[in-house]
Homo-oligomer: A and B are copies of this chain.
């Protein structure tokens, strides 16, 4: 029985959208999985009742506080120990959950990931990742997309290992191709950390390094399954794609490829390299996005993603 915790109070439209998403997830999730809603139990049951859904299909864990989207992440997380997010992380750390997902305050989710959970032994820096659609119909996993604004070469190398394991475990790719985001194809291109990372990666046997990738080839497909970058650049890349999608949608451009940029289909950003499965949803999550966030968390738990990353981290530690 896989127990997926969901922060019922997290997100711009919580708890309503979260519960509607959980209801959608309920009918899509494996029968051996259980959705655990963490938050104000009265509000949760109230929303379920309002939509004619039996709240008995969920496990509800009461939490008296909640962390606002605009609160200072670290302060709020540490102070509000009975917030839905903090309670969820504690349950995860105590093995009362197999995964935890929230569309709440992103910074607070990152705080919980290292404050209540721990980095896996051997992992220098956990990271967050995101999938982007490619023209050939596949996706590319980009990491880091914002956990670490300053990223050293050895950390970039670890992201290659982490991304490769994620792609194998969650995307069903037998031998994921890992590229390094750079400003040119040649080895000597890029900033100092990227140049150094290339040197480490080119001889690695831990993953299939395919060299540098320039951003003009990002969406073409056929080059890589995993794209490694620092959390500053990765965040800019992700937000630029989001901004472009939002703008062309507003301008009325309606094309199947552009529509795949809709974050709702991806549902969430997994936190990789920490001691349990954590997924961060988009603050503005719709019920569809919440459903996919929950399914991503369930799959991570079911496929043993953390265990596999832990094995990968051991390799790093041994080197």
Residues of A in contact with B (beta carbons under 8 Å apart): 135, 146, 149-150, 181, 183, 189-192, 194, 214-220, 230-233, 235-244, 246-248, 250-253, 255, 257-258
With A248-B257, A253-B253, A258-B248 in contact, is A191–B149 under 8 Å at CB? yes
B251 touches A239 (CB 8 A): no
A133–B194 Cα distance when bound, in Å, is 29
Residue pairs across A and B with Cβ atoms less than 8 A apart, 9 shown, are: A149-B183, A183-B231, A215-B238, A215-B240, A215-B243, A216-B239, A233-B236, A237-B240, A251-B255
A236 to chain B, nearest CB (A): 5
Give Cα distance in the complex from A235 to B146, angstroms: 18
> How distant is A12 from chain B, measured CB to nearest CB, in Å?
15
The minimal Cβ–Cβ distance linking A219 to chain B, given in whole angstroms, is 5
Report the nearest B residue to A232, measured CB to CB. Answer: B191
Q: In this complex, which of A194, A219, A235, A250 has the most chain B Cβ atoms within 10 angstroms of its Cβ? A: A235
Count the copies: 2
Chain B contacts of A238 at CB under 8 A? 215
Report B-chain residues with C-beta under 8 Å of the C-beta of A190. 149, 232
How far, in angstroms, from A6 to B214 measured CA to CA in the complex? 28
Contact between B233 and A215 (Cβ–Cβ < 8 Å)? no
- Other A-B pairs, 7, CB within 8 Å; known A219-B247, A220-B243: A149-B189, A183-B231, A215-B235, A219-B244, A220-B247, A232-B233, A252-B255
Q: Determine chain A's interface SS by DSSP, over half rule.
A: helix
Q: Is the CB of B251 within 8 A of A253?
A: no
Q: Which residue of B lies closest to A254 (CB)?
A: B253
Residue of B nearest to A229 (CB): B236
Report A56 CB to chain B, min CB distance, Å. 40
By a CB distance below 8 angstroms, the chain B residues around A244 are 219, 241, 244
Asked if A240 contacts B243 (CB within 8 A), the reply is: no
- In Å, the complex CA distance between A230 and B219 comes to 23
The distance in angstroms between the C-alpha atoms of A231 and B220, with both chains bound, is 23
Is the pair B216, A240 in contact by a Cβ cutoff of 8 Å? Answer: yes
Q: Which residues of chain B are within 8 angstroms of A250 by Cβ–Cβ distance?
A: 135
Bound Cα distance from A242 to B231, whole angstroms: 22
Q: How far does the alpha carbon of A181 sit from the alpha carbon of B149 in the complex, in Å?
A: 13
A215 CA to B146 CA in the complex, in Å? 13
CB distance from A181 to the nearest CB of B (A): 7
Which 8 pairs from chain A and chain B are nearest by CB?
Answer: A216-B243, A215-B239, A215-B240, A216-B239, A149-B191, A183-B235, A215-B236, A150-B191
- Knowing A190-B232, A236-B233, say if A247 contacts B215 (CB, 8 Å): no
- Which residues of B lie under 8 Å from residue A255 when comparing CB positions? 248, 251-253
The reply to whether B135 and A251 form a contact with Cβ atoms under 8 Å apart is yes
Residues of B near A181 (CB, < 8 A) are 236
> In the complex, what residue of chain B is closest to A190 when comparing beta carbons?
B149
| CB-defined contacts of A230 to chain B, threshold 8 Å | 191
Docked Cα-Cα span, A296 to B236, in Å, equals 29
